[in-house]
Amino acid sequence: MRTVLIERMRGKVGEALLRRVAGPTVHRKRDRIHGTPGPRWFAPDRPVRVVHGDASMYIGGLAALLLQSLHPVAMAAVWAHSGFQGDPWGRLQRTSTFLAETTFATAADAERAVRRVRAVHAGVTGTTSDGVAYRASDPALLSWVHLAEAFCFLRAHQRYGAAPLAPDGRDGYVADMASVARRLGVPDPPVTEAGLAEALLLRRGELAATAESAATARYLLAEPPLPWPARLPYALLSAAAVDLLPVWARKSVALPVRVRLLLPLARPGGRLVTAAIRWVTPPLPAHLARPAEEGVPPGG
């Protein structure tokens, strides 16, 4: 009886988590992304599929948002146009769907996803509170978003992933991400782990703590739109995400007291949360878990 109750709770929590991250049509999305026949951009053994299929992405994704928020122009565009506060789950679901489509879906689906994002970017323009004009399609801004994501996703996987990558796998992941970034309009993205770290440091001079970055940190770390039972696991995940940031970036993030207090527990807490997410997340049904067709690397 106890086992039945535990499994029932596990299924209920896992289903709720999937719907939060991927939306109410998550199962239809899974069927389309994983079940539609056709060539993929990435073969089943590519590093990008290993990283993006792991529970460590929850920590890496939050860390990437915090790091991205330190670019004043990029953050002004996000706050003005993305529905960051008004529709946080919608934004999360759109982002997770894009990552799933470009990583696991057919090449045709992946290309449509890229065209859709580029069309959205083309319509996003504005001016920061300091009078700096911006456009979301600016290659420099696209590059910053890409660098922050690739760095945080990879670092989270190496620290919390079920199967950390060897050096050639880490370079392979950066190269896989670069192939998608080129399609989005990022010029000359780095293709090795060392190149990624160097490119990130070169952008350091553009970063600064701003009112928008402080509000982002407060919203993500202190005021997440979550039910109370999820607050403690999320607090541990938040501490792990902050701990993932480079020290120079962490110093610029406005950290709530609760996160500061939990930082000494960040790594064991991060391991606990990712293990829990793996345990509750429903696996792909057997008919979707079969090996996909051979990957066809995206051009550009």
Tell me how far apart the alpha carbons of residues 24 and 43 are, in angstroms, rounded to a whole number. 28
Tell me the pLDDT band of 300, cut-offs 50, 70 and 90: very low
Identify which of 229, 242, 211, 249 has the alpha carbon closest to the alpha carbon of residue 79: 211
Average pLDDT of the residues in 244-273 = 96
Distance of alpha carbon 164 from the chain centroid: 17
Burial (CB < 10 A; 0-12, 13-18, 19+), residue 288, is middle
Query: 91 or 296: which carries more pLDDT confidence?
Result: 91
Helix H segments across 36-166?
A: 47-52, 57-68, 72-81, 88-104, 107-122, 139-160
pLDDT bin (cut points 50, 70, 90) of residue 89 is low
**pTM summary value:** 0.91
- ∠ CA 189-148-91, rounded to 5°: 115
Query: Is-contact 23 286, C-beta < 8 A?
Result: no
The model's pLDDT over 66-85, given as tens digits with 9 standing for 90+, comes to 999 999 998 887 777 665 56
Helices and strands counted in the chain (H then E): 15, 2
Place of tokens 């739109």: 225
Lowest mean pLDDT among 51-60, 83-92, 119-128: 83-92
What is the torsion angle, in degrees rounded to the nearest 10, for the CA atoms of residue 101, residue 107, residue 112 and residue 117? 50
pLDDT at res. 229: 80
Give the whole-angstrom CA distance, residue 237 versus residue 260.
13
User: In the structure, what pLDDT confidence band is assigned to residue 10 with cuts at 50, 70 and 90?
Assistant: confident
Residue-level pLDDT at 282: 76
Both tokens assigned to 84: 């960051």
Half-sphere exposure of 183 toward its Cβ, with a 13 Å CA cutoff? 20
Instruction: Give the pLDDT confidence score for residue 295 in this predicted structure.
Output: 53
Distance CA 38, CA 22 (A): 23
* pLDDT computed for residue 136 by the predictor: 87
> Tens digit of pLDDT for each residue in 162-214?
999 999 999 999 999 999 999 999 999 999 999 999 999 999 999 999 888 89
Report how far Cα 203 is from the mean position of its chain's Cα atoms: 20
Average pLDDT of the chain, as a whole number: 88
> Does the pLDDT at position 2 exceed 70?
no
C-alpha distances out from residue 67 to 4, 119, 168, 203, 249, Å: 42, 25, 25, 12, 7
